[in-house]
């Protein structure tokens, strides 16, 4: 079986080998593949693994031998799943591998907004503490989370786990979600999105990006927020109208934001969030702990193995 990995660098930069996949066929791994290279590199592929390299309908039409697509992620919007279904090509994703890593990153971002650890560390190393007249100083107001409200948009696996950590920190949990699963083992205030943005002290996005909700976090919704509120996005950059968020931050409509994702990745030099006030940006790393990447590799190989056995699993376009 001819297997092509279109963008293997982020999953395996050298610490997460492809050994188990190589046992299943003739594997060719490309670190990165530009859009104009996809059809050529994948032309002989019977199985394709892709993370962020797009497979639109016009590319799929040029791949006559393709039988299966394994997405190296939970989100699968990089593949035209409708076109794949029409060709009888199952597409599988990895439903759960990075929950703990993403939740950890959510609170790393939030705690940085609250305690400004990096700012104070830099101040100490710059000599400000040695010159201080008092035993303690802080450069900006510090925020305590206990007693505040965590608003979660999308209470799936990751959203529920964010809620559990927030609850453990003494926060109330408020949620808006498209589909209610089993009630989590902590109290949840159910509300619509507008109410969450209006009432929560922290709003964290954990919903998939769809045509219906693209850029739904816009000036109108941001205008409902309290000026003390923080916004966290570790989901998809396209959920936010970035110019609107930058304008809101610069105007003090909300206290701060922290994002791990951007509408275009890598982030473009003129992205307005790069110069917005009180905005922390990390380069889409919430998913990328070694432990999470090993789980992602293991499940992706299992997806390929199941397809080869004639019983594909985690299929998103059945």
* CA–CA dist 42, 64 (Å, integer): 10
Sheet of 68-71, strands arranged across: 26-29, 2-5, 47-50, 68-71, 91-92
pLDDT in tens, 82-125: 999 999 999 999 999 999 999 999 999 999 999 999 999 999 99
Half-sphere exposure (CA, 13 Å, Cβ side) for 133?
0
The per-residue pLDDT for range 21-72, each reduced to its tens digit, is: 999 999 999 999 999 999 999 999 999 999 999 999 999 999 999 999 999 9
> Which pLDDT tens digit goes with each residue over 170-207?
999 999 998 777 789 999 999 999 999 999 999 999 99
What pLDDT score does 182 carry? 77
**Residue count of the chain:** 318
What residues are labeled active site? 236, 265, 284
Question: What digits encode the pLDDT tens for the residues 244-273?
Answer: 999 999 999 999 999 999 999 999 999 999
State the residue for tokens 């507008």. 194
Q: Please write the tens of the pLDDT for every residue from 210-242.
A: 889 999 999 999 999 999 999 999 999 999 999
- Say if pTM beats, i.e. exceeds, 0.85: yes
Q: Using alpha carbons only, what angle is made at residue 300 by residues 299 and 301, rounded to the nearest 5 degrees?
A: 90
Residue spans per domain, the chain: 2-97+290-308, 99-281
**Dist CA 43 CA 176 (whole Å):** 43
Q: Answer whether residue 282 shows pLDDT above 80.
A: yes
Q: What is the pLDDT of residue 106?
A: 98
* CATH class for the domain made up of 99-281: alpha beta
Span 2-97+290-308: which CATH code?
3.40.50.720
pLDDT reading at 284 higher than 80: yes
Q: Residue 156 — very low, low, confident or very high, per pLDDT cuts 50/70/90?
A: very high
Percent of the chain as helix, strand, coil, to the nearest 5: 35, 15, 50
Chain mean pLDDT for the chain? 97
- Which helix (H) or strand (E) element contains residue 203? strand 202-205
Closest CA to 229 of 237, 221, 240: 221
Percent with pLDDT over 70 in the chain: 100
Nearest to 59 by CA among 22, 95, 89, 24: 89
Same fold for the pair 2-97+290-308 and 99-281: yes
Bridge partners, residue 159, by sequence? none
Long-range contacts of residues 220-226, Cβ cutoff 8 Å, at least 24 apart: 221/193, 221/194, 221/197, 222/197, 222/248, 222/253, 222/254, 223/248, 223/253, 224/194, 224/197, 224/198, 225/197, 225/198, 225/253, 225/254, 226/198, 226/201, 226/254
99-115 vs 157-168: helix axis angle to the nearest 10? 40
Give the residues across from 217 on adjacent strands: 240
Rounded Cα gap, residues 174 and 152, in angstroms: 6
> Is 106 strand, coil or helix?
helix
């Amino acid at each position: 079986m001819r297997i092509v990995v279109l963008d293997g660098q982020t999953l395996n930069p050298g610490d997460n080998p492809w050994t188990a996949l190589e046992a299943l066929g003739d594997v060719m791994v490309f670190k990165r593949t530009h859009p104009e290279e996809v059809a050529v590199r994948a032309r002989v592929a019977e199985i394709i693994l892709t993370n962020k390299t797009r497979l639109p309908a016009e590319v799929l039409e040029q791949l006559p031998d393709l039988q299966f697509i394994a997405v190296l992620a939970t989100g699968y919007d990089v593949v035209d799943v409708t076109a794949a279904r029409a060709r009888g090509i199952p597409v599988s994703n990895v439903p759960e591998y990075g929950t703990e890593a993403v939740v950890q990153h959510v609170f790393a971002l939030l705690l940085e907004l609250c305690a400004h650890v990096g700012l104070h560390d830099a101040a100490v190393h710059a000599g400000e503490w040695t010159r201080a007249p008092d035993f303690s100083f802080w450069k900006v107001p510090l925020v305590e989370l206990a007693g505040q409200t965590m608003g979660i948009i999308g209470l799936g696996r990751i959203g529920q786990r964010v809620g559990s950590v927030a609850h453990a920190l003494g926060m109330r949990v408020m949620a808006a979600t498209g589909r209610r699963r089993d009630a989590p083992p902590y109290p949840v205030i159910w509300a619509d999105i507008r109410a969450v943005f209006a009432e929560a002290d922290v709003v964290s996005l954990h919903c998939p990006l769809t045509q219906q909700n693209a850029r739904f976090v816009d000036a109108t919704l941001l205008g409902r927020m309290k000026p003390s509120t923080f916004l966290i996005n570790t989901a998809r950059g396209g959920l936010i109208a970035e110019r609107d968020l930058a304008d809101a931050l610069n105007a003090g409509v909300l206290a701060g934001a922290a994002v791990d994702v951007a509408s275009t990745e890598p982030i473009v030099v003129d992205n307005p969030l790069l110069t917005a006030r009180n905005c922390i940006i990390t380069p889409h790393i919430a998913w990328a702990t070694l432990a999470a990447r090993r789980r992602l590799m293991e499940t992706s190989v299992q997806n390929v193995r199941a397809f080869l056995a004639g019983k594909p699993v985690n299929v998103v376009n059945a």
